[in-house]
Amino acid sequence: MTRSDFSKTLIDRLAEADHVAVLTGAGISAESGLSTFRDPGGLWDKFDPQELANVDAFLSNPELVQSWYSHRRELALEVEPNPGHEALAELEKRVPHFTLITQNVDDLHHRAGSDNVVELHGNITRNYCMECEREATDEDLAPIAEGEPARCPSCDGLIRPDVVWFGEMLPPDALRQASRASERAGVFLSIGTSAAVQPAASLPLRAKASGAYVAEVNVRSTEITRQVDESVRGKAGDVLPTLTDAVAQHG
Ligand code: OAD
């Protein structure tokens, strides 16, 4: 990956932009070792979201759902942010108003040092009581390892991961911030997402309709490839450090 893999327009506009918005998906964490959802061998290839990622599944089999999320939480905490996450944290320092909108729940953007992160689908490292909404501690989650449902020590409600399940609303504040950032952005980057899930997938198009230059970074084409201004084919961990360096050297 070299500077010539990007258009001059992308580098110029990034270097000069007052507002930049970025949307990331599971692809940016693939190089840290976390599975994506829709690639071959991905999570939704191996597991059925009907059994694991909606409130009815949770209520009918809380132990199963809690243990699946608890396992994914452990994996997320074991792995490290990669150069793609780090490059975005670096880019944030060079842009006056930078919003990193993520569909990922793995917390890797925060751990890489990104500051203004909007989590559209929640954060798997957090859990809370479904009844009283008290945040759960690691100790509260201990029964999961024994195959027992984890319950709130205050009210005995079931503890659930702080993620958005199918059929649930996105956190309204996060959606509002993401929409506003997309409408204000001079440049919008869509990175490592299949752009298959709404409303996140509409954000790059909303940005484009508001005048942003929209570039996609992905190893393959996606639902929005034909609508974006520029498609950069490659791994986020290769592309983003090169792009950030090019912006830093922009004269
Ligand atoms: P997907 O699994 O749908 O898409 C991952 C994308 O990353 C694909 O387009 C891959 O081509 C691309 N990709 C893989 N490795 C890459 C790499 N190293 N560099 C760049 N791109 C790479 O994941 P998302 O788009 O994030 O929702 O899925 C969106 C939502 O669907 C998730 O947040 C999750 C899921 O259901 C919830 O859990 C609510």
Condensed to tens digits (0 to 9), the pLDDT of residues 20-45 reads 999 999 999 999 999 999 999 999 99
Question: Shortest CA distance to 102 belongs to which of 34, 16, 1, 7?
Answer: 34
**Ligand 1 neighbour 203 (Cβ under 6 A):** no
Determine the distance separating the centroid of ligand 1 and the alpha carbon of 108, expressed in angstroms: 14
Tokens of 25: 């998906």
Quick one: pLDDT band at residue 3, thresholds 50, 70, 90?
confident
**Ligand 1 neighbour 1 (Cβ under 6 A):** no
Quick one: pLDDT band at residue 243, thresholds 50, 70, 90?
very high
- Residue pLDDT, tens place only, 100-122: 999 999 999 999 999 999 999 99
Cβ count within 10 A of residue 33: 12
Residues in the chain: 251
- Residue pLDDT, tens place only, 129-158: 999 999 999 999 999 999 899 999 999 999
**Ligand 1 neighbour 122 (Cβ under 6 A):** no
Give the pTM: 0.97
